[in-house]
Chain A
Amino acid sequence: MLEIEDLHVSYGNIQAVRGISLRVEAGELVTIVGNNGAGKSTTLLTISGLLRPTAGCIFFEERNLAGASPDKIVSWGISHCPEGRMIFGRLTVAENLILGTYNRRDRVNIRQDLDRVHKLFPVLAERRNQAAGTLSGGEQQMLAIGRALMSRPRMLLLDEPSLGLSPLLVGRIFEIIRELHNQGVTILLVEQNAYQALRVADRAYVLETGKIRLTGPAVDLANNPQVRTAYLGG
């Protein structure tokens, strides 16, 4: 479904991503783990068109995404739930969710998707008319995921959904990710919390300084001695 070939991305003189190739099949939950600055978020931002690759291709169902505008990429079916949540704090919860449907032409089904998101996150229904900035961190993360789902994406990019949350909420967020996966949503998950990410994912890539170090089924990587010492605390 998504195929990245030899992707290079730079910020000025700094090469953040140096020749990544990866693949996500329809229905898969693939995770990219790695430390801060490994190039994980950069990869996602390049997929969704906020950054331009210096070299390489990104194919999404036969379409080359490299150089396409972000709004086109959203309308082709990729939704990006960014790091740091980036909800619109001055807008109400309902307005945030509506913006998730900005590119959709089938206005009739929006009601259904809203119900689905409300079912997944009942708190969003309760707080629908509240300014999103007044939500707690966990609620904001749920809003960010819900908002990304509102575009009815065929592929969901999740960037550090557990960042800054209490251990209890981290567990809840990963439950939701698993649930979405079971519903058939294709997910590319970027995480520093390698332990949790490797538990939910089908396959994984380990990124180090802009290059892929290891790849394979998530279970294998979770038992790999190198991964254990570097990312899972021994």
Chain B
Amino acid sequence: MYSPSYFMQQFINGLNLGSIYALVAIGLTMVYGILRLINFAHGDLMMWGAYLALALIANSFLPFGVAVLLPMLVIGLVGVLIERITYRPLRGAPEVAMLITSLGVSTLIQNSTIMTLTAQPQSFRLPPGFKQLYEVGGVNFSSLDILSFSLAILLMIGLTLFVRRTRLGIAMRASAENLRAAYLMGININQVIATAFAIGSGLAAVAGCLWAAQYNTVEPFMGFLPGLKAFVAAVIGGIGVIPGAVLGGFLLGFAEIFFVGFLPPAFSGYRDAFVFALLLMVLLIRPNGILGSSTEERA
């Protein structure tokens, strides 16, 4: 009843959604890995990234590529500032203090956006070329699909090289695994944490632009649900482990698209419920996520 091309179509949609979840989940998992902080404000930086891109596209002749990369740099810096101002003073306080602070930061970002701009959704219009449709064997995809997927993959490759090849990257993985031992290595933890926030927030900004471009709209609360789902993705993949965030992101993207695409339309309203049910199932079977493992002491 479903043709192969229909399946392929869903596959491409899943790939797109998955790469956005993965980009957002990376930042969440990096920060959680080191600070044990569920950063609720992460999704809101996604929103700010999208607004910034919107402003750049609307008021200039900048190509889309620049309009996405500039927010990445700016929002990366914003992430570092947020950490410096709000989370760092709470270092050493109970973890729940930081968690609540991040909820506060999230509320602050959303409401300051509403105050300075508007609560109304705004349309995110792209230059005409991006909605150019291609058809290959009955499967439709746009230049935007190709662009967003390849951009996401490029960024992930870059990140992988960074955490595998550079000292700071290795230190970052080490800090996520055992913060105490990382201190004893002489690693400057503040530097590592600032880097995690810079990279994570930058990737969230890119994800926000891609999200806005896919759905043609930006609004102040647009970051909340994808942020939450990206957290689910990070947990499914094994929180604290970067490849886990990527795997979890794609898995969740595919699962969500296939759920909507292959079940009777009556179910499609339950897609978010399905996402969280999936989380529960994975956690029942692998409590530490797919790639997460409890590091056991060996004798």
- A contacts, CB < 8 Å to B: 48-50, 70-71, 73-75, 80, 82, 84-91, 95, 98-100, 102-103, 133, 135-137, 140, 147, 151, 164-165
| Residues of A close to B186: CB separation below 8 A | 70-71, 73-75, 102-103, 151
- B contacts, CB < 8 Å to A: 167, 170-171, 173-174, 177-178, 180-189, 241, 295, 297-299
Instruction: Give chain B's interface secondary structure class.
Output: helix
Q: A137-B298, A137-B299, A164-B297 are contacts. A74–B174 as well, Cβ < 8 Å?
A: no
* Complex contact B187–A88 (CB within 8 A): no
| Residues of A close to B171: CB separation below 8 A | 99, 102
Residue of A nearest to B295 (CB): A89
A-B contact pairs, 23 of them (CB 8 A): A50-B184, A71-B188, A73-B186, A75-B186, A82-B180, A82-B181, A84-B297, A86-B184, A89-B177, A89-B295, A90-B241, A90-B295, A91-B170, A91-B177, A95-B170, A99-B171, A99-B182, A99-B187, A102-B171, A133-B295, A135-B298, A151-B186, A164-B297
| Residues of A close to B295: CB separation below 8 A | 89-90, 133
* Complex contact A82–B177 (CB within 8 A): no
| Residues of B close to A82: CB separation below 8 A | 180-181, 184
Give the residue of B178, B189, B298 whose beta carbon is less than 8 angstroms from that of A88: B178
* Complex contact A90–B298 (CB within 8 A): no
CB distance from B175 to the nearest CB of A (A): 9
Bound-state CA distance A189–B178 (Å) is 23
**A49-B183, A89-B177, A151-B185 provided; 7 other pairs, C-beta below 8 A?**
A82-B184, A88-B177, A99-B182, A100-B185, A102-B167, A133-B295, A147-B185
CB distance from A19 to the nearest CB of B (A): 25
Bound-state CA distance A100–B299 (Å) is 23
- Most A CB atoms within 10 A — which of B189, B241, B299? B299
| Residues of B close to A88: CB separation below 8 A | 173-174, 177-178, 181
- Most B CB atoms within 10 A — which of A70, A103, A165? A70
CB distance from A76 to the nearest CB of B (A): 10
CB distance from A156 to the nearest CB of B (A): 12
| Residues of A close to B181: CB separation below 8 A | 82, 86-88
Bound-state CA distance A73–B264 (Å) is 63
Residue of B nearest to A99 (CB): B185
| Residues of B close to A75: CB separation below 8 A | 186
- Most B CB atoms within 10 A — which of A71, A86, A137, A147? A71
| Residues of B close to A151: CB separation below 8 A | 185-186
Bound-state CA distance A99–B166 (Å) is 11
| Residues of A close to B173: CB separation below 8 A | 88, 90-91, 95
* Complex contact B184–A98 (CB within 8 A): no
Q: A74-B185, A84-B297 are contacts. A99–B177 as well, Cβ < 8 Å?
A: no
| Residues of A close to B298: CB separation below 8 A | 133, 135-137, 140
* Complex contact A102–B180 (CB within 8 A): no
| Residues of A close to B174: CB separation below 8 A | 88, 91, 95, 99
CB distance from B233 to the nearest CB of A (A): 20
| Residues of B close to A99: CB separation below 8 A | 167, 170-171, 174, 182, 185, 187
| Residues of B close to A91: CB separation below 8 A | 170, 173-174, 177
| Residues of A close to B189: CB separation below 8 A | 71
CB distance from B171 to the nearest CB of A (A): 6
Residue of A nearest to B297 (CB): A84
Q: A99-B170, A102-B167 are contacts. A90–B177 as well, Cβ < 8 Å?
A: yes
Bound-state CA distance A133–B294 (Å) is 11
CB distance from A110 to the nearest CB of B (A): 11
Bound-state CA distance A135–B297 (Å) is 10
| Residues of A close to B241: CB separation below 8 A | 90
Bound-state CA distance A136–B174 (Å) is 20
Residue of A nearest to B183 (CB): A70
Q: A50-B180, A82-B180 are contacts. A102–B297 as well, Cβ < 8 Å?
A: no
